[in-house]
Copies of this chain bind each other. A is one copy, B any other.
Amino acid sequence: MRNGTVIFKTNYSVSAVKDSTALLYRNHGEPSQVVQLESLDLPQMGPESVLVKMLAAPINPSDLNMIQGTYAILPELPAVGGNEGVGQVMKVGDKVKTLKVGDWVIPRDAGIGTWRTAAVMKADDVVTVSKDIPVLSAATLGVNPCTAFRMLTDFEELKPGDTVIQNSANSGVGQAVIQIAASKGIQTINVVRDRPDLQQLSDRLTALGATHVITEETLRRPEMKELFKSCPRPKLALNGVGGKSATELLRHLQSGGSMVTYGGMAKQPVTVPVSALIFKDVKIRGFWVTQWKRDNKHDEDALRNMLDELCILIRAGKLSAPACTEVSLQDFRKALENAIKPYVSTKQVFVM
């Protein structure tokens, strides 16, 4: 990756980009089995196209589900894997006004296929990001930080001092939630699964800005009452797990608060007591950043403003990329295997 960055700060020759090496799959199945490294000819540039050299692209859980064929949206096959990443514009079509050579860009929508060295894309399918942030931050900006940002913004009006509770606090979204909330003076109660290195994890999340880090077991215990002597009951609960964990989050929500589900790691539904709906007026919602981007496709400012705000936090050192393992496209099989393993807490990121 760092090599990649260096390459692009030198005078990379545009004419050198004639074909692309890509991680392609022709059938749905286990990612490490169906994905192949292939050489693809780049199509002709159209007047509204841009040639983008990819710099870095992570492996996200939804990428794997898409390859497995279990995700809510599936591309036509054969398809190039990956939905997130950052690239640099090498060439722009005659009619492209919004981008210039050298710009860093990230996809506007899922399905673009980011695990490749280069691609010809429609200018409208990408959006610029600031070049003065780390390339790993740019590569992982479009999904998790955007999910965290919107969930903290669109469901409850949160003021400094308010509390948010979340499970899966060590996930990419979870870490972004901690950091964005902390930057706004919002307290976070962060629920993680118990593990041998709990203290170390807790210290790491606390260093990111977590107010409290507790285990799923603690969440169920009466001592939670003690915790709520020092901070208000949460207005917002963020659920990436489902099942019992979600029901437990709900129990602690204040009357009229919202629980927003963005993931279902436990592969169990969200179960809501009728009394919580009727007498506590809890609101059970879901969030999918891909849908948000589609719904706001024609509102240029909505995405722009969010990315700008996130970049300000990144530059200020208040929002860091998750721990990443950088791998080359050639090492894709191992990377895909690692990405699918439970408890591997670093994100696999292809660097081109």
A274 and B270 CA atoms in complex are apart in Å by: 6
A275 and B268 CA atoms in complex are apart in Å by: 10
Per-position binary interface string of chain A over residues 44-79, scored 1 when its CB falls under 8 Å from any chain B CB and 0 otherwise: 000000000000000000000000000010000000
Contact A279 B242, beta carbon cutoff 8 Å: no
Contact B284 A284, beta carbon cutoff 8 Å: yes
The residues of B that contact A104 with a CB separation of less than 8 Å are: none
A17 and B311 CA atoms in complex are apart in Å by: 74
The residues of B that contact A286 with a CB separation of less than 8 Å are: 274, 276-282
**CB-CB under 8 A for A269 and B273, given A72-B279, A286-B278, A288-B281:** yes
A122 at the interface (CB under 8 A from B): no
Per-position binary interface string of chain A over residues 274-298, scored 1 when its CB falls under 8 Å from any chain B CB and 0 otherwise: 1111111111111110010000000
A340 at the interface (CB under 8 A from B): no
A264, A274, A279, A284 pick with most chain B CB within 10 angstroms: A274
A265 → chain B closest CB, angstroms: 9
A93 at the interface (CB under 8 A from B): no
A268 and B269 CA atoms in complex are apart in Å by: 14
Contact A275 B242, beta carbon cutoff 8 Å: no
Q: How large is the interface on A (under 10, 10 to 19, 20 to 34, 35 or more residues)?
A: 20 to 34
The residues of B that contact A242 with a CB separation of less than 8 Å are: 274
The residues of B that contact A278 with a CB separation of less than 8 Å are: 72, 261-264, 286-288
Interface positions, chain A 168-202, Cβ under 8 Å from B, are none
Residue in chain B with minimal CB distance to A247? B269
A39 at the interface (CB under 8 A from B): no
Contact A271 B274, beta carbon cutoff 8 Å: no
Contact B275 A264, beta carbon cutoff 8 Å: yes
Residue in chain B with minimal CB distance to A241? B274
A93 and B273 CA atoms in complex are apart in Å by: 45
A279 → chain B closest CB, angstroms: 4
A272 at the interface (CB under 8 A from B): yes
A195 → chain B closest CB, angstroms: 23
A289 → chain B closest CB, angstroms: 10
A221 → chain B closest CB, angstroms: 21
Interface positions, chain A 127-171, Cβ under 8 Å from B, are none
- Cβ contact of A277, chosen from B270, B273, B275, cutoff 8 A: B270
Residue in chain B with minimal CB distance to A286? B277
Contact B288 A279, beta carbon cutoff 8 Å: yes
Question: 25 A-B residue contacts at CB 8 Å?
Answer: A72-B275, A242-B274, A261-B278, A262-B278, A263-B274, A263-B278, A264-B274, A264-B275, A264-B278, A269-B273, A270-B271, A270-B272, A270-B273, A270-B277, A271-B272, A272-B272, A274-B286, A276-B286, A277-B285, A278-B286, A278-B287, A279-B286, A279-B291, A281-B285, A283-B285
19 additional contacts (CB under 8 A) given A261-B274, A281-B291? A72-B275, A72-B278, A242-B274, A263-B278, A264-B275, A268-B274, A269-B271, A269-B273, A269-B274, A270-B273, A274-B286, A276-B286, A277-B284, A278-B286, A278-B288, A279-B288, A283-B284, A283-B285, A284-B284
Enumerate the 4 nearest inter-chain pairs by beta-carbon distance, A residue then B residue, closest first: A277-B286, A264-B274, A284-B284, A72-B279
